[in-house]
Structure 1
Amino acid sequence: MDQLENIYHDYSDYADSFQAMEQDARASGRTQEFNQEDWFDEALNRRLAMEAKGRREQKAVTDRAAIKAAVVQLGAFFYPPQPKGAMPARSIVMSEPQELAVVPPAETALQVYSTPNGLEPWLQQVRIKVDEFKQVLPELTTKKGRDAYKSMAHRIAKSKNALEDAGKKLSAEQKEIPKKIDAERKRVWDILESWQKEVRQPLDDWQAAEDKRIDDHQDALKHLRDMAVFATPPLAAHVEQIIQDVQMVTLDDSWEEFLPEAGVAKDQVLFALRTLLTERQQHEAQQREIARLRAEADARVKADRDAAIALAAAEQERQAAEQRAQAERDAAAQREQVLANAAREAKEASERQALQLRLQEQEAAHAAEQAERDRVAAEHRRVREVEEARQAEIQRQAEAAAEQQRLAEAREADKEHKGSINRTALAAFTAAGMPEEFAKLAVVLIASRKIPAVSIAY
């Protein structure tokens, strides 16, 4: 029993925050005790914490009682009352397995199933019976033993199905709660929405009528102002008709609060129309004068054009006669010119042929001269290239000699430098008491890098 009580933990334990204590108080119907100012009341917080602690302790007692009841039910199933003189249950092969229907009580089922490992006490009871069954296993070679295996497995299956069915039923019930809440929310929303519309309907009707009345007046004002607006310049007669229509507009109480604005709009429209009428009348008078002047000008142009046509016909005939005489003169001159051109072309062809011969001779002489110049230039280039190669070789030999001299001097300087350092090392060895012969040998061996890990820094 103590083991089961340790396994079954208090799943509803939570921190004694004021918010959690407030939820406990509201759940118990004491909502009037709280407001936001109480969140910082230390005395109230301490009192609520004590109350929350007492409720949790009471709940722990209730839970332990529930566990004990469950253990008693499980024990009654696994250890059913036996008739006097009957054999122990493990040694009896029952014709029909007892149906296991031990499930958490309805009042604590939600807490048990919604708590992590909440069904552990029930599982432990089944496990205890399984372990007891396995301690003394029935013989598989007998029918009674095999029936005992089947009976135990069937009882476990009954327990499994009973707990599963109870959990499914509880889960289905919990899933229906949000649907019921949503249905009630929608019903309340729809009712209050209809009441809102019912209460506001007179105001909405009045506002709609008021908006329509104002819109009608605004439309009338716009129509009045638009009477002075034209897509294209109108005729003066049309403007006069519009002025008469505007003058017929009555300014009375039907305009209501828009009467002053309507009066101003009417005056403005009449002023604009009368100004436009004056402009259009002046424009039409100018157009009529322009049309008259244009007609007179067209008549003069036509008369001048007819006279010009007659004069042009006479001049054209004169020019045609002159052109015919000139054509005859041109034909005779052309014939003479053809003969002259033929003679000139023959002479020019002879001169061109002679000139072509002279040009060919000159080109041949120029080609010979150019070939000789090219030969001389090529000879000069060859001589210059040979000289340049000789000078380059002399320069290279001089540079090589200078480089050999520099390397020799460098080797001599390096030899002198190393000799100076070696002599300094020899002096250090001899000053330390080493014989000069050994000191020389040591310096030679170190300088030739035959002594490992020892060297002279030059």
Structure 2
Amino acid sequence: MANELVVIEKSTALEVFKSSDSVEDIIRKVEQEVNSFIPDVSTAKGRKEIASLAYKVAQSKTYLDGLGKDLVAELKEIPKLIDVNRRTVRERFDTLRDKVRQPLTEWEAEQERIEAEKQMLAWHEEALEMNEAFGKALAERIESDHEIALLMNEKFDRDLAEAKAEAERQRIAHEEELKKQAAEQARLAAEQKAQQEIEAAAQREREAKEAAERAEREKQEAIQRAEQSAKEAKEKAERDAKEAQERAEREKQLAIEAERKKSHEAEQARLAEEERKRQEDAKRQEDKEHRRKYNQETLQALVSNGFDEKLATEFIKLVASNQIPHMTMNY
């Protein structure tokens, strides 16, 4: 797979991104892979391996960053932490990518410098060819003039020799100037390339430093938010516990009052029942006394009319108990 440097099961991705230690473990494993790699820019295979490893590091960054992005979309509760780790992955893997590709980058810069030197050399050779053509034409002209000068006096011979020497000096001076210009242009191009690399490295270092400072700030902010959340959760828990205790106390008091009310109502019901029974007993006793009095008066009336007292008593009992038809006691 393209990102074989890093493989994470989707079911464990949340636990990985929730822990900075887990992310650090992944980065350290990739760093070990990168640090154990020996770059070789002297062969096409070696340069291809450098580019391949740098590509794998970049793909691993994209893979982890995309995995974290998916988690952020699914788990809204921890987006800040995942974003911090995503930034850490991006920045650290960018640094690793630049680190692993640096030999290839330097090699490419060297190749550009060599190409610039080759171009300068080509221009120089072209100038030499032009100079040679110029010298040849000059020599031909001088030779022609020499042939004419042979027909002239010694002064012309000296002038011709001086002119030839001056032309050679000019040719040599022109050739040296061309070499000097080519060397200066190559030197300036190499210095400019080196300065650009230095500035790029300094910029990467500044960006890495700023990223580290930003990550530290965000880490501290996350810690502060976590501490504030923990404080608020603790205060809420204390408030909830206090409210629960107060609610339990109120419910306890209500239960006590309810039990007290229930006991009072039970006592009132018992007293009412006792009063009802007392009244019923009193009523029964009163009725009994009333019947006894009526029975006694009836007995006296029967005895007064010549009835035997014992037979009269039995007669009254039979009437009172409704055992004699058509006769009742009217109390």
Fold similarity call, TM over 0.5: no
Say which one has the larger Rg.
1
Select the structure with the greater relative contact order (CA < 8 A; seq sep ≥ 6): 2
Task: Give the alignment's TM-score, normalised by structure 1.
Answer: 0.22
Between structures 1 and 2, the one with greater helix share: 2
